[in-house]
Amino acid sequence: MAGDWLNPYYPQVASFVFINVILGVSIYITLATGQLSLGNAGFMSIGAYTSAVLTTRYGIPMPAGIAMGAILAAAAGVVIGIPSLRLTGVYLAIATLGFGEVIRVLFVNWESLTGGAVGIAAIPQMGRALLARLRESGFEPGTVGLRDNQFIALTVFFVLLVLAALTILFFARLSGSRVGRAYSAIRMDEKAAEAAGIDTTYYKVLAFTQGAFLSGFAGALFAHTTSYISPADFTYHRAVEILVFAVFGGSEHLFGPVFGALFLTVMPEALRVISNYRYILYGILLVAMMVYRPQGVVDRALVERLSCARKTRGEAA
């Protein structure tokens, strides 16, 4: 029978991996300037709710809703980032975590717009929207051997794959640019960077805004992937989860949070067969990482070793 070879569950899990990869990059950008922010869940909720409200209540096209959600989250990042310049370390983390909780409580109580604790349902879903457009031109998933739900899952998978890849590529290029070098200088020694003529205020607010933009972007994609959101999706647990992507994967290199997001999203699903113990194993793994490799799995030294090994094999060939 057509489509028996594809279980929609796997592309759905992969879709959440790509959303988490974007969130991992968002926390990396703020950490790149030495700012420990736990506000990503708040910015994510702004992007999600903005896009959901615009598309469900006002009929705004989905791409425009996603873009406006990300932009509004970035604007909130500027508003929060400027006064937060006075804070560092754990004080900044507490302040931004508080911001995220304020936003969540706001969405819980603004029932006329956000649906309160119940949330917003029937949000336009990316895969279904594209399938509806294709059907208008006469296309049917059966022509390529797929059922509707399989085509929808694959469509979302490929859209998010492209967006995650473009996000990684952009910020990988940024890391080697003047902006990326300024970020690194501020992270290593903010006073020395300022003495060298780097506008630390500008670059720290820029990093905060970029992180907020990506979080809002990921939130909007999450809304249009699941078709349902509620304040429970953006609690402080989500903020800690995003931070753990960088803590586990490593915050020294862009690929650290990317690896952390991939591994920590797939692992709970892989351990579902032992669901009664999977979170125990999850916790043991994180504690072991903190003890034996506090810099995370991926650091600059590891990336350089892998790069040198690849060049050596290329020369030998």
Count of other CB atoms within 10 angstroms of residue 227:
16
| DSSP H helix total and E strand total for the chain | 14, 0
Count of domains for the chain: 1
Phi, psi of 216 (to 5 degrees): -65, -40
Using only C-alpha atoms, the chain has a radius of gyration, in whole angstroms, of 21
- For the cut 80, the answer to whether the pLDDT of residue 212 exceeds it is yes
Examine residue 205 and state whether it is found in any structural domain, yes or no. Answer: yes
Residue 146, domain extent:
9-316
The residues near 285 (Cβ < 8 Å, ≥ 6 apart) are 267
Q: What is the mean pLDDT of residues 284-289?
A: 81
Examine residue 92 and state whether it is found in any structural domain, yes or no. Answer: yes
Q: In the prediction, which pLDDT does 261 show?
A: 93
Across-strand partners of 120? 229
Structure tokens at 150: 């399989």
Nearest-angstrom CA–CA distance, 246 and 261 = 8
Nearest-angstrom CA–CA distance, 97 and 75 = 17
At 297, the pLDDT band (50, 70, 90 cuts) reads confident
Examine residue 1 and state whether it is found in any structural domain, yes or no. Answer: no
Q: In the prediction, which pLDDT does 138 show?
A: 87
Q: In the prediction, which pLDDT does 278 show?
A: 67
Distance set, CA 74 to CA 54, 184, 296 (Å): 17, 22, 28
Name which residue leads in pLDDT, 96 or 283: 96
Place of tokens 């034996």: 292
* The amino acid at 180: G
Determine the 3-state secondary structure of 120 from DSSP: strand
Examine residue 211 and state whether it is found in any structural domain, yes or no. Answer: yes
Q: What percent of the chain has pLDDT over 70?
A: 96
Q: In the prediction, which pLDDT does 290 show?
A: 80
Sign of the torsion formed by the C-alpha atoms of 281, 287, 291 and 296: positive
Examine residue 101 and state whether it is found in any structural domain, yes or no. Answer: yes
Examine residue 246 and state whether it is found in any structural domain, yes or no. Answer: yes
Examine residue 42 and state whether it is found in any structural domain, yes or no. Answer: yes
- For the cut 90, the answer to whether the pLDDT of residue 152 exceeds it is yes
Nearest-angstrom CA–CA distance, 301 and 131 = 45
Determine the 3-state secondary structure of 245 from DSSP: helix
- For the cut 90, the answer to whether the pLDDT of residue 296 exceeds it is no
Distance set, CA 100 to CA 106, 230, 271 (Å): 10, 14, 30
- Specify which of 2-6, 168-172, 236-240 reaches the highest per-range mean pLDDT: 168-172
Phi, psi of 251 (to 5 degrees): -105, 0
The residues near 6 (Cβ < 8 Å, ≥ 6 apart) are 146, 150, 154
Name which residue leads in pLDDT, 105 or 295: 105
Name which residue leads in pLDDT, 74 or 317: 74
The model's pLDDT over 80-91, given as tens digits with 9 standing for 90+, comes to: 989 888 888 889
Least confident of 33-37, 67-71, 146-150, 294-298: 294-298
Q: Is 314 left (phi over 0), alpha (psi -120 to 50) or beta?
A: alpha
Examine residue 28 and state whether it is found in any structural domain, yes or no. Answer: yes
> Cα dihedral angle (224, 226, 231, 234), rounded to 10 degrees?
-90
The model's pLDDT over 21-61, given as tens digits with 9 standing for 90+, comes to: 999 999 999 999 989 899 999 999 999 999 999 999 999 99
Q: What is the pTM of this model?
A: 0.93
Q: In the prediction, which pLDDT does 55 show?
A: 96
Q: What is the mean pLDDT of residues 113-121?
A: 94
The model's pLDDT over 4-16, given as tens digits with 9 standing for 90+, comes to: 668 888 999 999 9
- Specify which of 33-42, 162-171, 258-267 reaches the highest per-range mean pLDDT: 162-171
